[in-house]
Every structure is written in C-alpha cells, then in structure tokens.
Homo-oligomer: A and B are copies of this chain.
Amino acid sequence: MLKISKLTDYATILLIHLSRHQKAISSSILAVETGVPEPTVAKVLKMLTRATLVQSCRGAGSGYMLKSTLDQITLASVILAIEGPIDLVNCDHEHCRVTLKNCTLYGKWEGISLQVRDVFEKVTIADLQNQNKAIHSC
C-alpha cells in the first residue's frame, strides 16, 4: 500500500502540538489536545523519542519536548521513525523466486525509492503546519 500509516499522521500532529509549548508536556495532555487516544499518543511519542526527534523527561510534571524546530524535522525522518526505511519493494534476497543474478529490476526500484524518499526529505513539518490554529489531520 502506498499510504502513510495513521501513526505517522499522528506523529506530525503531535510534533506540531509540541512546538507550541515551551515546557515539556505529558502524553495525557497531548491526548486531550489532539483528540487522539492516550495509549496511542504514548506509543507514538515513544517511537519519536527513540528516533531522537523529541526529548523525554520522566517524573511528575515532566513529559516530552521537541529536540529541534519544526523546520528542521523532515517528513522523511518522521516516516523513518514510525515506519522504518522507505523501500518500495522489500526484496529480502532469501525467499526470492529467482536467483539474485537475474533480478535486474531490483536496481531500478531502488532508484525510484530514492526519488520518493527525496520528496519526503524536502518537506519539513513546518511546511505541513499551517499559519492558523487548526492542527488535526483527518
């Protein structure tokens, strides 16, 4: 499927929300703000933390903060954090029906994947964000 996963969508929304706060905020507050269920918010923030897109702090009154500004966060990095590397075909070279030598299409797909990756590399979350206060995607 040539689709962004829902969690990636949530991730962009959460990042935009985080950028509006100076202090760290908790996943439960973000859940209320965004309307996304809390356990899901928590899950996404965990992934973003592992990818070092956001910074976390434990303990009472703490939470999550952006590590950089929205214009420094590419959509590609968010997709990578949530869905893994962008590869249009997943050729594991193990269960391939044919021998690798014959697999001449593979290289071509690689090039196309790169072009797609490039599209996402050039879009930042700041680009996604609008000037007005609306922050949900559908």
Q: A: which residues have CB within 8 A of B?
A: 1-5, 9, 12-13, 35-36, 75, 79, 83, 86-93, 96-98, 100-106, 108-109, 112, 115-116, 119-120, 123, 127-128, 130, 132, 134-138
Contact residue among B5, B109, B116, B128 (Cβ-Cβ distance under 8 Å from A105): B128
Given contacts A2-B83, A3-B89, A116-B119, 19 further A-B contacts (CB under 8 A): A2-B2, A2-B4, A2-B79, A3-B87, A3-B90, A4-B109, A12-B105, A89-B137, A92-B138, A93-B138, A102-B134, A102-B136, A104-B132, A105-B135, A105-B136, A105-B138, A106-B137, A109-B128, A115-B119
Given A116-B116, A119-B119, A123-B112, verify A13-B138 contact (CB < 8 Å): no
Q: Which residues of B contact A13 (CB under 8 A)?
A: 105
Given A75-B112, A108-B128, verify A98-B136 contact (CB < 8 Å): yes
Closest residue of B by beta carbon distance from A137: B105
Chain copies in complex: 2
Tell me if A's interface is mostly helix, strand, loop or mixed: loop
20 residue pairs from A and B, CB less than 8 Å apart: A1-B3, A1-B5, A1-B83, A2-B2, A2-B4, A3-B87, A4-B88, A75-B112, A93-B138, A97-B136, A100-B138, A102-B134, A102-B135, A104-B130, A104-B132, A105-B130, A105-B136, A105-B138, A108-B127, A109-B137
